[in-house]
Chain A
């Protein structure tokens, strides 16, 4: 029988939460696996909302001079679509992977600070709710002398200055009402969540690796988590300060970004993109990591150029801080700066190319198994290369000034963020599905999902390249009939609905397989990394005994030898090993002490949105309640028994 020692009940001011099932077990959990699953579901929920917003945009653009949406509603929808997809969908879904997999891949029992981990999850949830509460509490009025003569509906009462919030357009004068305050403060709250998780993951990777798990033996996904955590840690502070300035400008009469008060609107662009460009890599590097796990497994070959891929990842992360002004070629920066940033933009294509060639080298000559995760990874490479190539065209300044603010840009970043990041994420969702649920997904539905999504994706974003080059501008709610842009716009809209259909297939597969799927074999993919050397679904204690890692791809080497020609030969002992591992993984031999659940992360997190509302509604009372919640959360946190740590 399993022996998990209940943590000693120690003197504490409050009763400790003790539920192991039911809703309270989720609210008070500090288990990285449960937190990861919650991150995943919450992010997917926001992905659906962001997707609905995209569909609404596409319905509007399917006809020239359409009036399905008003201009105000269109502005709100594209702003919320971008903000949602970046901050509430892709980032947290990557966080779901980090949470669930990172401790498993380095052989740890949990992250370094389990309660902080819960805290960052709850802050993310409250930040998302806060941002979306703009539809209820927010107002967006007409700018003075602006185009809006009708009443703004509830749909338009959301942030409407773009996810980039350019100043002074997003300032009080041109975006009156409280909607953009919801945006600025919402991102501030979400940023805190990401910062906390970044500290947590960096510390975990540096200090919590199991025996023998040296840095150069870590799986590539762990490496990419490491790189992303550094990017988060060093880029989020910049946007946080810039958002402070916006909040002060809009609420307390300062003029950091307002020319009439001596401020500098271009400074906002610099600060925003100094965060915003690393953010691009924050979104894509997790997918790089996932693909680097999936490709070797399904090619039955080791990853080609492990060290090169790792260093290329960090090269991208590092150079990523030196290319921000290529988003600003159309602003007032000098020609010297334009040339410099054009060059650095070309340079960053080099480590990216290194990765692409390494992936191709990995599948070259491999015995490919085309399961759904592999299909998504291959799709990822193809789509990401297209997006990467159109990205390089932006580094040529004269061309970029033509492309700026057209659908060509929209096509480019959807190829890297959807064709790249999302394809990688779906690959990972299928790949680790058996690990998380202990069941197999339905392969046929998975393949239908892939092909529908690949076709829908290319129909949606491919034509945007030529729409953009023909001059269709971004962020504009109508186009004139005389422009002859309608045909491709209709195709694009059809493509968008095919993507929606593919998501429905995915959801059916997920729900059905999770409930009725076949039981997953112990090691369904004949995988390489140590998270597959424990039973599925993962036991609460992860590893019953700390693994002792002797090489890169340790689990693979415990199953396979090499013959003289370097081909993998399955060891005769491999099958018995798997049986033993399952037996051992389910029955720990010694007592295991797990961190205690806690009420306080959610209490502390719930104070932050109240501080946001306090600024928006200029209410001291709300601020006081918020501070009380934060302080009582911290106080309770501090008085919980210390022996378990953190």
Chain B
């Protein structure tokens, strides 16, 4: 609380909004955990029709994964810039993060379209269904992240600029963004590599 008449309370030293974000992310683990578990269950089954291994392009997905990982780096740089109160650099790195996220999303859309052309569709078999729901759910998270980053960037364009205290603050979005990246590392391994 930044008001003059701060209401005294016991706390953990973690800023309240950040704490809320941590709690939110802990439930996200359950969301992805359930999706990954069912994916693994179905992966072990015998299913008819075309398989992911028939259609995927590991080098392509590796590159888009790399792009997403790099966005975590730019996110850290944006946070760093904000800590030294360099508004312009903060905005630049934020925009870079959003763009890298958008590139990843574009890659995913391209990949899905390719898969569809090759006959690997949502209702092809149980494997394709769980593949699309799992990666699509992650894609939705990346999309929301990009929207958040662009809004931050937009707020930064306004006169006062960004501060670490402001409402939808950068740390809050950064936590989310890193989480989404980490999930992708798990997904890439589980879905494409093993």
Contact = CB atoms under 8 A, between A and B. Distances in A.
A256 B129 contact: yes
A241 B38 CA distance: 10
Nearest to A234: B30
A208 interface: yes
Interface stretch (A27-35, A246-254, A555-563): A246-254
A203 B16 contact: yes
Contacts of A592: 5
Given A262-B126, A643-B3, A203 B23 contact: yes
A248 B129 contact: yes
Given A254-B129, A261-B125, A638-B167, A646 B30 contact: no
A237 interface: yes
Nearest to B121: A253
A542 to B, nearest CB: 10
A244 B19 CA distance: 28
Given A195-B27, A255-B129, A645-B167, A207 B16 contact: yes
B10 A212 contact: yes
A210 interface: yes
Name which of A235, A241, A248 has the most chain B CB atoms within 10 A of its CB. A241
A244 B27 CA distance: 16
Contact of B20 (A203, A256, A590): A203
Interface stretch (A105-113, A307-315, A412-420): A105-113
Interface residues of A, number: 56
A635 B26 CA distance: 25
Interface string B1-30: 111010111111010110110011011101
B38 A256 contact: yes
A200 interface: yes
Contacts of A241: 31, 34-35, 38
Contacts of B16: 112-113, 203, 207-208, 645-646
A236 interface: yes
Interface string A198-232: 11101100111111111000000000000000000
A396 to B, nearest CB: 29
Contact of B5 (A244, A245, A255, A590): A590
A252 B123 contact: yes
A271 B42 CA distance: 14
Contact of B10 (A213, A235, A237): A213
A644 B6 CA distance: 11
A101 to B, nearest CB: 17
B15 to A, nearest CB: 8
B47 A203 contact: no
Contacts of B23: 198-199, 202-203, 233
B19 A203 contact: yes
Given A200-B20, A267-B38, A646-B16, 11 more contacts: A108-B9, A195-B27, A198-B27, A233-B23, A234-B27, A248-B129, A252-B123, A256-B38, A256-B129, A262-B45, A546-B8
13 contacts: A107-B9, A113-B17, A211-B8, A254-B133, A255-B129, A256-B42, A264-B42, A267-B41, A546-B8, A593-B3, A638-B168, A643-B2, A645-B16
Interface of B: 1-3, 5, 7-12, 14, 16-17, 19-20, 23-24, 26-28, 30-31, 33-35, 38, 41-42, 45-48, 122-123, 125-126, 129-130, 133, 137, 151, 155, 166-168
Interface of A: 107-109, 112-113, 195, 198-200, 202-203, 206-214, 233-238, 240-242, 244-245, 248, 252-256, 261-264, 267, 271, 546, 590-593, 635, 638, 640, 642-646
